[in-house]
Chains A and B, each alone.
Chain A
């Protein structure tokens, strides 16, 4: 976690790519990909006949199109696939217009609903997507089609980027923040500021007052969770409820959202067996749209 200057980067989360061992693309009729260039993370999912074959999750760099190329390249690594093998590619996310190899761009709202429907099945009605720089509450039908949604994209309060800033400030590795935040014996009052900049100065103030790191973290996550819960309640929380995006891994956040809403999310499927990764929900949805669009083009 150390950078070139030897400084520990607590915010740095794990990048990964995986290939499903029991699947092979060579016999597949359609090969599609979804590339989700988020503000913080870039995700690429490759599907063979609508089943997840391989995928990658990595940090978005300063250039969206480079990030798209790198993410897809990483998902293709060790597979023998070349760009020519793809029948259709859909780009999505904050940088979706800058995905150079994409045949089409589709909004991440539609892709997340579609992806959630694929990951958890047709019973999903409410999707909370907590991304790097925005939070979305999406209502969808049994086909994963968006019915309505609300999003916060004007302010970093309660986003993954905000979580990175706090992890760095408290010097707690970001992969551990959820677990650490749940180690408090009593839930503290939430921090009063939702603005990341102000929350940071408030956190410094609390540390000075003698609060433990765990307690400060719990107070921040509580504020983050209540902000999200407001968004979900506005859009209406119908079961089944699921969480997508990078923060779906943050059990401290998930637990608090569940407590405030009084609703449990559907559990995360086993990644190694299914490849159904909530972080990649947008890219999964994009790859599914790619398949549908390709099949439609064949009928014409």
Chain B
């Protein structure tokens, strides 16, 4: 029996997953906030409590994510790309491309049937390709972020908007609202623009089916719809895409624990 844990130190949230023989037995998340290390401790302890385990029971802890260096109790680390590849193939063995869209960055990863990373493309320089974009636009449109997706699905067309930059899009949205354009069409324009950015990243990598989408933004039905249209194919999404990075790290941890046994 191997018990392992993965900790994904995201910019917005810390996610923890505990695996027992590669099956999830507990998961937990916390806002990263001012003190990411403290958030990691809290999320870890909460997951342990749910699994009815203590820290000594975990054979190996692997950390990943933007704040990977801020987990003092981790035994090892793995790159975000490596964790995505592992998780994608774990959820869907047919996965060859894993797209991860988080709060402030987006990645496309190519993997083989064993979940081994082959190649990747990253966008971490522009907020127009990540979850922050939806957040900023929801604010500009005065709708809840969680409602953006379903709102966009009501539209049959998309507004014309300069969505190359979050800041530009914000001022465009103000003009569009002034012109009384339907909010649903503006929302669709936002998701289309994000999907365009992500799909061009995937194309640079080479579009190989099956495509798996993970990360917090994978929960957004509006983005998923736009991405499907842009890629021209179905997309597989695990039940809890936000935990994918943590699952990937925990799978790596399990492998490393076995090697040490």
Contact = CB atoms under 8 A, between A and B. Distances in A.
B168 A156 contact: yes
Interface stretch (A41-49, A191-199, A251-259, A292-300): A191-199
Interface in B121-175: 125-127, 132, 136, 164-168, 171, 174-175
B104 A156 contact: no
Nearest to B171: A39
A154 interface: yes
Given A154-B165, A155-B164, A195 B127 contact: yes
A197 B171 contact: no
Given A62-B175, A63-B175, A195-B126, A161 B167 contact: yes
Contacts of B260: none
Given A62-B175, A63-B178, A198-B104, A133 B127 contact: no
Contacts of A165: 167
A62 B104 CA distance: 28
A196 B164 contact: no
Contacts of B177: 62
Nearest to A159: B167
A165 B125 CA distance: 18
B104 A162 contact: no
Interface string A56-95: 0000001110000000000000000000000000000000
A201 B34 CA distance: 12
Nearest to B127: A197
A7 interface: no
Contacts of A161: 167, 171
Contacts of A39: 168, 171
Interface string B171-189: 1001101110000000000
Contact of A155 (B34, B104, B126): B126
Q: Is the interface of B mostly helix, strand, loop or mixed?
A: helix
B69 to A, nearest CB: 15
A235 B136 CA distance: 34
Contact of A62 (B11, B125, B127, B174): B174
A196 B167 contact: yes
Contacts of A198: 104, 125, 127
Q: Is the interface of A mostly helix, strand, loop or mixed?
A: loop
Given A155-B126, A208-B34, A197 B178 contact: no
A133 B164 CA distance: 12
A191 to B, nearest CB: 13
| Best-surrounded residue of B34, B104, B165, B179 (most CB of chain A within 10 A) | B165
Nearest to B133: A197
A64 B175 CA distance: 9
Interface string A25-54: 000000000000001100000000000000
A40 B174 CA distance: 12
Nearest to A208: B34
Contacts of A154: 164-165
B126 A133 contact: no
Contacts of B175: 62-64
Interface string A174-196: 00000000000000000001111
Nearest to B178: A62
A161 B164 CA distance: 15
Contacts of A63: 175, 178-179
Contacts of B34: 208
Interface in A137-154: 154
Nearest to A194: B125
Nearest to A134: B168
A162 B167 contact: yes
Nearest to B12: A201
28 contacts: A39-B168, A40-B171, A62-B174, A62-B175, A64-B175, A133-B168, A154-B165, A155-B126, A156-B166, A156-B168, A161-B167, A161-B171, A162-B167, A193-B125, A194-B125, A195-B127, A196-B127, A196-B165, A196-B166, A196-B167, A197-B132, A197-B136, A197-B166, A197-B167, A198-B104, A198-B125, A198-B127, A201-B104
Interface of B: 11, 34, 104, 125-127, 132, 136, 164-168, 171, 174-175, 177-179
Interface of A: 39-40, 62-64, 133, 154-156, 159, 161-162, 165, 193-198, 201, 208
Given A62-B177, A165-B167, A197-B136, 8 more contacts: A62-B178, A133-B168, A154-B164, A155-B164, A156-B166, A195-B126, A195-B166, A201-B104
* Closest 6 A/B residue pairs (Cβ): A156-B167, A197-B127, A62-B178, A154-B164, A155-B165, A62-B175
